[in-house]
Structure 1
Amino acid sequence: MTEPRKPLIRMRYLLIIIVILLLNFIKLPYYYSQPGIAQELQEVISVEGTNGIEEGAFMLTTVEMARATPLYFAWSYLSAYRHIIPEEQVRGSSESDSDYHDRQMLLMSNSQEMAKIAAYEQAGADVSYEYHGVLVTTIMEGMPAEGNLEIGDLITEVDGEPVHTAEDLIDLLSGYTEDDQVVLTVTRGNENLSIKFGFQAFPEEYEVEDGRVGLGILSPVTDRDVTFSPSVTIDETDIGGPSAGLMYSLEIYNQLVPEDITHGYLVAGTGTINEEGTVGPIGGASQKVVAADKAGAKYFLAPDAEGQNGTNYEEAKAAAEDIGTDMQVIPVKTMEDALTFLETLPENQN
């Protein structure tokens, strides 16, 4: 009489396993993110001629991100530091997973170059440049660039004016109206193209001021060859995006100068950087605070961009208070702000 129960029990276990697998593998139109790691940068950066000795360490911080599944979706409700993000806020509708990954790697590569330049300029070391144009990395859906430009196109001129940097491109495309047109000179593979564009108002979700128009080219990247003396190398990494720029620049600077500016402390942080040393905002500041605290950081450097409501610094400080860490959150607007703060630190006696 008890024999038929065994197949039923096996069936229940099988159904449970199938449900768990479905919950873990069904892809939702969202991304899941959580605190990542804090990585010491002395391990991945090397400036020629430096002894590389640091009593402390500079650390980049990351956010782990993956396509959301029902299991991840449910898991996110168990912590304020696990987030669910709509897919359209992460990548364009026509952008594949491979395209997104390539874009993140390109942004990271550009971030590393900016960090090198900022550090070398700050340290008074030698830097030389050879410019090629501006690379297209992201195209806004529904804007004039869609269907006319491709990811990887190299823009070299606007109405015959040479384009050397991303800032040049932004400047040359500003101040137009919807009645205007421009011609971009573009290199695509081995082909040189001249493409005429009209302008269009930005979609409301981008919260651009009224009356401003554009082509829909987001996150353009300067394509150039930069030579550094002494030479500097940054090991390849799977970490994408531009948010490690500030911490890269501090590690490079520390290897260029004779003194150890860590003063024996673990210093984590986040923030983009440009070649002038201006620190820019990033995503996931609160999650990166959690990662830095787990790694034992004493200080966390956070972007404090002027003119913003809810800066990364404010978000990071609130997170630090929420998790009860002894780690201090420090606001920085520029690389020089970070260096000024580090100069105030006494030598760590621990």
Structure 2
Amino acid sequence: MVIRRIKILNILFILGIILILLYFIPLPYYVTKPGLAEPLRPYVKVAGAKKDKGEFMLTTVSMGKANVYSYLGTKLNDTYHLYKINDIKVSGESDEDYQFRQLRYMEESKQAAILNAYKQANKSYKVIENGIIVVSVIKEMPAYNVLMLGDIITKINGKAIHSLNDFTKTIKSSKPGTNFQLEVDRKGEKKYYTIKTKAFKNEPKRSGIGVSIAENLKLSTKPKVKINSEEIGGPSAGLMFALEIYDQLEDENLAKGYEIAGTGTIDKNGVVGPIGGISQKIVAASKSGAEIFFAPSENGRKNSNYYEAVQSAKKHHLKIKIVPINTYEQVISYLENLKTKK
């Protein structure tokens, strides 16, 4: 009897060890799930701003490397989504490189948010364009092992590069094998490289040097504004940052007493673009008490972010008003015409 009990305990012990090991064994996937929806005011500080009723909310998606348990979770919970590593990362990109890229996209979205809010509020701001910054380098492309993350490209063939458009127009029109001379600012030191373009493996008719880039802007504003996005990455909070900044700049209560969430990239011209994970973000927003949710409609495109959000809301029986939008001005107009909540 004692021997049998010891055998059972040994079996249970071994099973316990196996179950623990399964947690730590990574799979070649990422799992995403609804993250948080929380007020933006703690993240955004405009000098002299007053507190209003209602809130603009930041929505996020939680993502982590898959293990056996989270993988199984995607089969049991339809708000959990599974992605191959190559769907998330650029070829040859490390975890640290991926995080750098996401944080840089967040920085770019914050800059665009500030520009749009200050323009809309007719407040003073100044923009200095200072080249473009390298945020990722594709393995097996010419720039790999030549350019580094954080490099600022200031000139191509002796011509100053101020914006993304300057860069893409110059490179995009080139044929494979075209040489370009780059002037690069690397941590304050000038570097010079000659890089030859190459056709992309998956797009043989298109050539490039194999970098993802972002604009390197410097902003000064009056009144001053500070956005502390902590370790949140990606460009998808741009629209909501712009709304929170504008709300703090203006005396009028823009939220009108409502809990308002949303998502979408925003560029310098106020165009709102699509993002990933909106079906999960609408779930996070609803759980956190949001009453209104702004979703990019992509000019009415079939299967747009707006369409995806509506389908997710229906599927999960969410009681939240989803508003399709294409531009920042559309959102401002909607809110200005919104009746104050009683």
When the two structures are superposed, what TM-score results if normalisation uses the length of structure 1?
Answer: 0.93
Give SS of 1:4's match: helix
The answer on 1:259 being equivalent to 2:257 is: no
Residues 203 and 308 of structure 1: is their aligned pair in 2 closer, same or farther, counting only changes over 3 Å? farther
Cα deviation, residue 240, structure 1: 1.2
Range moving further from structure 2, 57-66 or 195-204 = 195-204
Name 2:18's counterpart in structure 1. 19
Q: CA RMSD in A?
A: 1.7
Q: Take 2:327 and 2:170, find their aligned partners in 1: how far apart are those partners?
A: 26
Give SS of 1:185's match: strand
Residues 308 and 201 of structure 1: is their aligned pair in 2 closer, same or farther, counting only changes over 3 Å? farther
Name 2:323's counterpart in structure 1. 330
**Letter matched to residue 183 of structure 1:** Q
Q: Take 1:235 and 1:200, find their aligned partners in 2: how far apart are those partners?
A: 39
Cα deviation, residue 309, structure 1: 4.4
Cα deviation, residue 203, structure 1: 3.1
1:51-82 per-residue CA deviation (whole Å, 9 max, x = no partner) reads 1x221110010000011111111111112210
Name 2:242's counterpart in structure 1. 249
**Letter matched to residue 46 of structure 2:** V
Give SS of 1:157's match: strand
- Which runs of structure 2 are paired with 1:74-153 in the superposition (5 Å)? 74-153=72-151
1:139-164 per-residue CA deviation (whole Å, 9 max, x = no partner) reads 22322222321211110001111011
Alignment partner for residue 293 of structure 2, among 280, 284, 300?
A: 300
Q: Take 2:229 and 2:278, find their aligned partners in 1: how far apart are those partners?
A: 24
Residues 97 and 180 of structure 1: is their aligned pair in 2 closer, same or farther, counting only changes over 3 Å? closer
**Letter matched to residue 284 of structure 2:** A
The answer on 1:239 being equivalent to 2:239 is: no
Contact 2:111 2:217 in 1 (8 A): no
Name 2:333's counterpart in structure 1. 340
Cα deviation, residue 26, structure 1: 0.3
Give SS of 1:228's match: strand
**Letter matched to residue 235 of structure 1:** N
Q: Take 1:112 and 1:34, find their aligned partners in 2: how far apart are those partners?
A: 24
**Letter matched to residue 70 of structure 1:** V
Range moving further from structure 2, 124-133 or 253-262 = 124-133
**Letter matched to residue 165 of structure 2:** E
**Letter matched to residue 41 of structure 2:** Q
Name 2:48's counterpart in structure 1. 49
Contact 2:56 2:244 in 1 (8 A): yes
Q: Take 1:270 and 1:236, find their aligned partners in 2: how far apart are those partners?
A: 15
Q: Take 1:70 and 1:271, find their aligned partners in 2: how far apart are those partners?
A: 32
Q: Take 1:211 and 1:184, find their aligned partners in 2: how far apart are those partners?
A: 23
Name 1:180's counterpart in structure 2. 178
Structure 1 residue runs of 4 or more that deviate by more than 6 Å after TM superposition:
none
Q: Take 2:124 and 2:285, find their aligned partners in 1: how far apart are those partners?
A: 33
The answer on 1:319 being equivalent to 2:317 is: no
Aligned residues: 342
Contact 2:93 2:138 in 1 (8 A): no
1:97-147 per-residue CA deviation (whole Å, 9 max, x = no partner) reads 222222222221221121111111111111112232211001223222223
Name 2:70's counterpart in structure 1. 72
Residues 118 and 141 of structure 1: is their aligned pair in 2 closer, same or farther, counting only changes over 3 Å? same
1:221-261 per-residue CA deviation (whole Å, 9 max, x = no partner) reads 22232101100112242211111010000000111111111
Name 1:217's counterpart in structure 2. 211
Q: Take 1:245 and 1:168, find their aligned partners in 2: how far apart are those partners?
A: 23
Q: Take 1:308 and 1:188, find their aligned partners in 2: how far apart are those partners?
A: 41
Name 1:29's counterpart in structure 2. 28
Cα deviation, residue 335, structure 1: 0.7
Cα deviation, residue 344, structure 1: 2.6
When the two structures are superposed, what TM-score results if normalisation uses the length of structure 2?
Answer: 0.95
Contact 2:270 2:329 in 1 (8 A): yes
**Letter matched to residue 184 of structure 1:** L
Cα deviation, residue 334, structure 1: 1.0
**Letter matched to residue 117 of structure 2:** A
Alignment partner for residue 162 of structure 1, among 154, 160, 163?
A: 160
The answer on 1:272 being equivalent to 2:265 is: yes
Contact 2:100 2:135 in 1 (8 A): no
Cα deviation, residue 196, structure 1: 2.0
Cα deviation, residue 93, structure 1: 4.0
Percent identical: 36
Q: Take 2:242 and 2:188, find their aligned partners in 1: how far apart are those partners?
A: 35
Q: Take 1:155 and 1:339, find their aligned partners in 2: how far apart are those partners?
A: 35
Q: Take 1:222 and 1:197, find their aligned partners in 2: how far apart are those partners?
A: 20
The answer on 1:230 being equivalent to 2:223 is: yes
1:290-348 per-residue CA deviation (whole Å, 9 max, x = no partner) reads 00010111111111224854211111111011111120111111111111221231111
Q: Take 1:139 and 1:338, find their aligned partners in 2: how far apart are those partners?
A: 35
Q: Take 1:149 and 1:192, find their aligned partners in 2: how far apart are those partners?
A: 12
Range moving further from structure 2, 319-328 or 9-18 = 9-18
